[in-house]
A and B are shown apart, each in its own frame.
Chain A
Amino acid sequence: MTIVNRSAAVVLEKVRKQYGVVMAVEEVSVTIEAGTLVTLLGPSGCGKTTTLRMVAGLEMPTAGRILIGDKDVTLLPPNERDVSMVFQSYALFPHMTVLENVSYGLADASLSKARKLEKAREGLRLVGLDGYDERLPSELSGGQQQRVACARALVLEPQVLLFDEPLSNLDAKLRRRMREEIRELQQKLELTSIYVTHDQEEALAVSDKIVVMNQGRIAQEGTPADLYERPADSFVADFIGAANLIPCEILRREDALAIVRFGDTELRVRAPRISGSAGYLVVRSAAVALADAGAARGLTATVRKATYLGGHWEYTLDTPFGSLFLAQPVGRRFEQGATVALQLDPQHLSVVART
């Protein structure tokens, strides 16, 4: 292995970016531990790509500091920072061969030419493309181009590796495979990586930590499980895993639990950081079990729509507290129009504030 790990931590301190009157990033402070993969996740226009580009040096922050491995790089141009980036469009130079592309960044004069080529070949081997040296990018498939882009970034042995929506130009099947490969490579080489995506499933799959951004600010950061199970607000709950949000009233709190009421039902659920009396109950498919109306106790609901998707059923239910959208295993089938009993598992429920 000649690709050496030189990973370093990245710190963003109160970073802000303003274009004229438009505020692209309002304030972002985040620490990325060395050797971890952190995802910036959010809808388009939330400032995640701008944040990434500021780490790369392609944009200058309006205010704040950026540190890579304890060194302040805020004012350094991109070519003097020890980062490399995998672009959404791959940005392979069309007039250079695969090998030339991969060795392009090895501009260090102290490296001999033979050494550079050897290193570039090593990078290609790492992504499973040995033997493709002399191809032009136009002769590669989308997935192969993606790998070349990764190899090109890897051989620089950067302190930080940046990914800007690297998989968005691939089809669904390939996307899944590539994201696993990227994660494997990152873990094997213990690279500090910042990964931008708008796909929550992708974020959950690859990240050590996810930073959810909304309108130029950080909405929540935490491990994938944190975000999924303990969303900080309704935006995060809705954005990750598309939960059903049922308006509820928070009656009182007992330690980390809250007693909430919706309709005429009272429940005891997790509510780690919440104050006030108005909330949303976050209901995901996993928290619900459906049964025949007569057979079990529970809330009653009517099936408005039932869609068979092979692996599971998708139901839209009419309930006294609004409509619910749920996925359920295929074992049991409920017809459209049927009345069903709805059982909630408080273990999988949580509450977020309603503002």
Chain B
Amino acid sequence: MAGSAQQDRILLALLAAGAAGLALLPWYAIESGFWSFAWLASYPDASTAPATLLAAFHERPWLWPLFLGLLLPVPALFGHRRAAALVLAGGIFGICYLFLQGFLIGLRGWSLPALEAMFGPVPPQDGLGTGALVAGTIFLLLIAAGMARRGAMRGDQFLVGAIALVVASILLFVFFPIAAVLVEAAIDAAGGFSLGALLGRLTTEDIWSLGCFAGQRYCGVFWNSLWLAVATGITTTLLGLAFALLHKRTGFRAKGLLRLLAVLPIITPPFVIGLGIILLFGRSGVGTALISDLFGIPPSRWIYGFSGLLLVQTLAFTPIAYLVLIGVVEGISPSMEEAAQTLRADRWRTFRTVTWPLLRPGLANAFLIGFVESLADFGNPLVLGGNYDVLSTDIFFAIVGSQNDPGRASALSIVLLFLTLSAFVLQRQWLGRRSYTTISGKGDAGIPAILPRGLRVLIYAATMPWLAFTVLLYLMILAGGFVRSLGLNNTPTFQHYITAFGIDWGPHGILWSGRAWPSFFTTIELAAIAAPLTAAIGLLTAYLLNRQNFFGKNSFEFLTMLSFAIPGTVIGISYIVAFNVPPIELTGTGLILVICFVFRNMPVSIRAGLATLSQIDKSLDECSLTLRHGSFATMRRVILPLLRPAIIASLVYAFVRAITSVSAVIFLVSAQYNLATAYIVGRVEISDFGVAIAYSSVLILCMLAAIGLIQLGVGEQRRARRTFGTPAALGTS
């Protein structure tokens, strides 16, 4: 069937853009960056030429067939009978050929010796550049346009295009890197693939040894990680429950303090707690000195290892368990407990037979979250691990240290991924069907039962010291930046702040002389670029998942949520493995950091979007469609304005997480693009605690300010737009 006028217009635009991508824009990646425009000076030489010129004059004739992808759909413009099939075929051919030639011809010519023998040598290829990006996107959109012409999504080109873009970007930036890791782990010393290499790496003694039970000092990293994760899961769940009960079921008054406690872990870079602990209980810590003076216990290195890690991770992740469990506690309808009481149960019996069983699935959930957080945690083990190796840090040292063994790092990543994905699947498949929500949404007049006295005492006894400890820790961190060396030399000083954030007046105006400035500006810049992208892709995905039905939607949803369970360290290593060589060569650029931020934080955007969308009546969209607005206009004028809360949440979260993340980005930073967290970790590694602490404090304060600003900026423009007197004479009906 021939397309409508609008379909033909869009097709023409796509083909024109595709032609521009092939004939005008530089085909290969530009060393100095596309946006520097320095390449214009030498345009079009072999490194900056577009595909046409490369094919014609620079011995790369294999680029010619790419045009076939754009030529195939042309008859569709003239009302060809099989227009849809032609457009689809052009897109599929184009994108397949683009990747095929990219993978087959790399930095050293043919990537497979057999092909070289067959066709003779070819010149090398750099990573794909702007021209290739445009062409690839156009091919993808051609596929979408072809499918829309065949009636997919009621023929809505915008929707099919959006689905194609989102699916392709998730495949490219989440699953392709993971696949690359799997492949990397199977590459043997000679550079070929072998199953033996994979099995050898996966079964090494380092990972699985149970030597610590047989008198040796250490067990394998798998067991280390597992013990720590189980222990952290248990302690965070119990403490989180105590805090949740304290908040919801006791007369505790300082609830604002609890809310602050819940926000802190979001804005605190993950290793900062570890830093605070070192200040308190390190060899020269304030606390250590005090204990040594009072009780005569000599300073030791007990915090460097399992006990220190457990302490720190419990502090860091209890707030998350608290946030999860507060929802669970709220979800238990008071009428259930009141019913139990009217059935002659006393407080203990009510708690034991009603409250506790209703809490159980939520507790399991909180445990799994603590478990995964502990496994994925990188900053604290790096700072405090000592000789207690865990998977996430081992991966790091396998690739950055003297080992430089991507194969080993990949194998360790597989093990870590296996652990976190198991927890994730367990959570979805098993817990998914077991949560009891007894609040029905209708008004519930009941009053929550008062906890039995013994339990109340226990809760206070557990939570109050932790609360005090957390507050002390943060005070320590804030104060630590203002003394020469906390514990050793407590002379007040601004030296650390001057070193990090000094500003001088030079001959040409302001001189940002502080050593932290470059990484600080880079961090803010990249986070500011990544946050709107994250929110956009995440919310678009949520919209597609919630509002549209398409083939493969369930697996698509599962895959996007799965990306949540991939630890940052694994993402970091996978990006290095996947994007270090052509056809997609991104390492060392700012772009790879932005992409990493986007796809790492996108699941939270998706969740926020899904939660809000499920509150917006679907008939609003449908109504807009019948009112002469297409799906794109509907999204812009109806969905987006109503999604504002989710947009704010996503922006804040994406921005803040981009600033605080360590695990993934520490692999990806470069001299040109260094990030705040990576810089701080570097300071900690050489025991330059003063600057590290000063910098961390500044980051925390900056993020508080940013959250406030975003909320002000995007916030309530409309709500208070008009005020009305109470309409007394509303009663026309």
Interface set, chain B 710-732, CB cutoff 8 A to A: 718, 722, 724, 727, 730-732
Q: Which residues of the partner chain B approach A152 to less than 8 Å between Cβ atoms? A: 627
Chain B residues positioned under 8 Å from A42 (CB to CB): none
Q: Is B154 an interface residue (CB 8 A)?
A: yes
For A19, the closest partner residue in chain B by CB is B549
Contact check: which of A57, A105, A143 meets B732 at CB < 8 Å?
A: A143
CB pair A95–B641 under 8 Å, yes or no, is: yes
Point out the residues of chain B lying under 8 angstroms from A337, CB to CB. Answer: none
Give the size category of B's interface with A. Answer: 20 to 34
Kindly identify which residue among A58, A60, A88 contacts B626, using a CB–CB cutoff of 8 Å: A58
Instruction: State how many angstroms separate the Cβ of B626 from the closest Cβ of chain A.
Output: 4
Does B628 sit within 8 A of A, measured CB to CB? Answer: yes
Contact (A85, B626) CB under 8 Å given A60-B154, A143-B732, A177-B733? yes
B478 to chain A, nearest CB (A): 42
A107 within 8 A of B: yes
A9-17, A75-83, A288-296 - interface stretch: A75-83
In the complex, what residues of B have CB within 8 A of residue A108's CB? 628
> Quick one: which of B155, B617, B641, B724 contacts A77, CB cutoff 8 A?
B155
Q: Which residue of A lies closest to B621 (CB)?
A: A91
From A79, A88, A177, B625 is in contact (CB under 8 Å) with A79
Nearest-neighbour CB distance to chain B for A19, whole angstroms, equals 10
- List which A117-146 residues lie within 8 A (CB) of chain B: 128-129, 134-135, 139-144
Residue of A nearest to B6 (CB): A80
Q: Which residues of B contact A56 (CB under 8 A)?
A: 622, 626
User: Are A91 and B619 closer than 8 Å at their CB atoms?
Assistant: yes
A87 near B625 with CB under 8 A, answer no
B156 / chain A contacts, CB cutoff of 8 Å:
77
What separation, in Å, do the CA atoms of A81 and B628 have in the docked complex? 8
Is B617 a contact partner of A57 (Cβ separation < 8 A)? Answer: no
Cα of A141 to Cα of B642 in the assembled complex, Å: 21
Tell me, in angstroms, the Cα distance from A83 to B628 when the chains sit together. 9
What is the CB-to-nearest-CB distance from A276 to chain B, in angstroms, rounded to a whole number?
45
Which chain B positions have C-beta within 8 A of A83? 626
Q: Mark B559-575, 1 if CB is under 8 A from A, else 0.
A: 00000000000000000
Contact, CB under 8 Å: A77 / B626: no
Instruction: Please tell me if the beta carbons of A88 and B619 are within 8 angstroms of each other in the complex.
Output: yes
Return chain A residues, CB-CB under 8 Å to B642: 94-95
Instruction: Please tell me if B620 contacts chain A, counting CB pairs below 8 Å.
Output: yes
Closest Cβ–Cβ distance, residue B713 to chain A (whole Å): 18
Question: By the criterion CB–CB under 8 Å, are B627 and A105 in contact?
Answer: yes
Q: Which residues of the other chain, A, contact B633 by a CB distance below 8 angstroms?
A: 79, 107
Contacts of B641 in A (CB 8 A): 95
Find A141's partner among B627, B722, B733 (CB 8 Å cutoff): B733
- The distance in angstroms between the C-alpha atoms of A58 and B156, with both chains bound, is 12
Asked, given contacts A77-B156, A91-B617, A95-B718, whether A139 binds B727 with beta carbons under 8 Å apart, the answer is yes
Residues of A within 8 A of B730 (CB): 139-141, 144
| Residues of the B chain whose Cβ atoms lie less than 8 Å from the Cβ of A135 | 724, 727
Minimum CB–CB distance from B716 to chain A (whole Å) comes to: 12
Partner of B733 from A76, A79, A93, A142 at Cβ < 8 Å: A142
Determine the chain A residues whose CB is within 8 A of the CB of B724 once the complex forms: 135, 139
CB distance from B431 to the nearest CB of A (A): 28
| Interface flag for A260 (CB, 8 Å) | no
B628 touching A89 by the CB < 8 A rule?
no
For residue B624, CB closer than 8 A to chain A, the reply is: yes
Question: Which residues of the other chain, B, contact A57 by a CB distance below 8 angstroms?
Answer: 154, 625-626
Q: Does B638 sit at the interface, judged by CB under 8 A?
A: yes
Report the minimum CB–CB distance from B731 to chain A (whole Å).
7
Whether A75 touches B625, Cβ cut-off 8 Å, given contacts A94-B642, A135-B724, A142-B733, is no
Distance (whole angstroms) from the CB of B96 to the closest CB of chain A: 29
Q: Given A91-B620, A95-B718, A135-B727, do A84 and B626 touch, yes or no (CB 8 Å)?
A: yes
The answer on a CB contact under 8 Å between B732 and A84 is no
* B197: min CB distance to chain A, Å: 46
Q: Measured between alpha carbons, how far is A152 from B629 in the docked complex, in Å?
A: 13
Question: Do A93 and B732 form a contact, CB below 8 Å, given A77-B155, A107-B629, A152-B627?
Answer: no
Shortest beta-carbon distance from B517 to chain A in Å: 42
Cα distance, A89 to B623, chains bound together (Å): 10
CA separation between A144 and B727, bound complex, in Å? 13
Separation of A78 and B631 alpha carbons in the complex (Å): 10
In the assembled complex, how far is the CB of residue A91 from the closest CB belonging to chain B, in whole angstroms? 4
**A104 close to B (CB within 8 Å):** yes
Query: Chain B contacts of A351 at CB under 8 A?
Result: none
Residues of A within 8 Å of B732, CB to CB, are 128-129, 141, 143-144
How many angstroms from the CA of A85 to the CA of B637 in the assembled complex? 18
Interface 1/0 per residue, B676-697 and A, CB below 8 Å: 0000000000000000000000
A251 close to B (CB within 8 Å): no
Partner of B627, one of A75, A80, A147, A156: A156
Whether A84 lies near B619 (C-beta < 8 A) is: no
0 or 1 for each of B131-172: is its CB under 8 Å from A? (1 = yes): 000000000000000000001001110000000000000000
Interface membership of A174, Cβ < 8 A = yes
Other-chain contact of A58, B617, B622, B629, B718 (Cβ < 8 Å): B622
CA gap between A152 and B619 in the complex, in Å: 14
Complex interface bits, A85-107 against B, C-beta within 8 A gives 1, otherwise 0? 10111010111000000001111
Contacting residues, chain B, for A129 (C-beta < 8 A): 732
Q: Which residues of B contact A80 (CB under 8 A)?
A: 4
Question: In chain B, residues 354-409, which have Cβ atoms closer than 8 Å to a Cβ of chain A?
Answer: none
Is B514 positioned at the interface, with any CB of A under 8 Å from its CB?
Answer: no
A5 to B637, CA, bound (A): 28
| Nearest CB on A from B276, distance (A) | 45
Question: What residues of B have a CB within 8 angstroms of the CB of A178 in the complex?
Answer: 733
Query: B630 at interface (Cβ–Cβ under 8 A)?
Result: yes
The interface residues of chain B lying within 8 Å CB-to-CB of A87 are 619, 622-623
Contact with A along B592-626 (1 / 0, CB 8 A): 00000000000000000000000001011011111
Bound CA–CA A48/B31 (angstroms) = 63
B733 x A156 contact (CB < 8 A): no
Q: Is the CB of A104 within 8 A of B624?
A: yes
Q: Taking A84-B626, A105-B628 as contacts, is the C-beta distance between A143 and B617 under 8 angstroms?
A: no
Per the bound structure, the CA–CA distance linking A324 and B623 in Å amounts to 45
Inter-chain CA distance A87–B627, complex, in Å, is: 12
- Do B733 and A77 have beta carbons less than 8 Å apart? no
Distance between A45 CB and nearest chain B CB, rounded to angstroms: 19
Q: Contact at B626–A78, with CB atoms within 8 Å?
A: yes
Q: Please give me the residue from chain B that is nearest to A134 by CB atom.
A: B722
Contact between B638 and A93, CB atoms less than 8 A apart? yes
B553 to chain A, nearest CB (A): 14
List CB contacts (< 8 Å) of B640-664 with chain A: 641-642
Smallest beta-carbon distance B106→chain A, Å: 44
CA gap between A108 and B628 in the complex, in Å: 8
- Docked-complex contact B623 and A144, CB < 8 angstroms: no
Minimum CB distance partner of A53 in chain B: B622
Which of the listed residues B622, B624, B637, B718 has the most CB atoms from chain A within 10 Å of its own CB? B622
In the complex, the chain A residue whose C-beta lies closest to that of B625 is A78
Question: Can you name the residue of chain B whose Cβ is closest to the Cβ of A174?
Answer: B733
Q: Say yes or no: A75-B626 contact (C-beta < 8 A), given A142-B733, A143-B732, A177-B733.
A: no
Chain A residues positioned under 8 Å from B625 (CB to CB): 57-58, 77-79
Q: Which residues of A contact B4 (CB under 8 A)?
A: 80
What are 16 A-B pairs at a CB distance below 8 A? A58-B626, A77-B154, A77-B625, A79-B627, A79-B630, A84-B626, A85-B623, A88-B619, A91-B619, A104-B624, A105-B629, A135-B724, A142-B733, A144-B730, A144-B733, A174-B733
Q: Which 7 A-B pairs have CB atoms at the shortest separation, nearest pair first? A: A143-B733, A105-B627, A91-B623, A78-B625, A91-B619, A85-B626, A87-B619
Apart from A105-B627, A177-B733, list 20 A-B contacts with CB within 8 A: A56-B622, A57-B626, A60-B154, A77-B630, A79-B626, A79-B628, A79-B629, A79-B633, A85-B622, A94-B642, A104-B629, A105-B628, A107-B629, A140-B730, A141-B733, A142-B733, A143-B733, A147-B733, A152-B627, A174-B733
Give the interface of B toward A (CB within 8 A). Answer: 4, 151, 154-156, 617, 619-620, 622-630, 633, 637-638, 641-642, 718, 722, 724, 727, 730-733
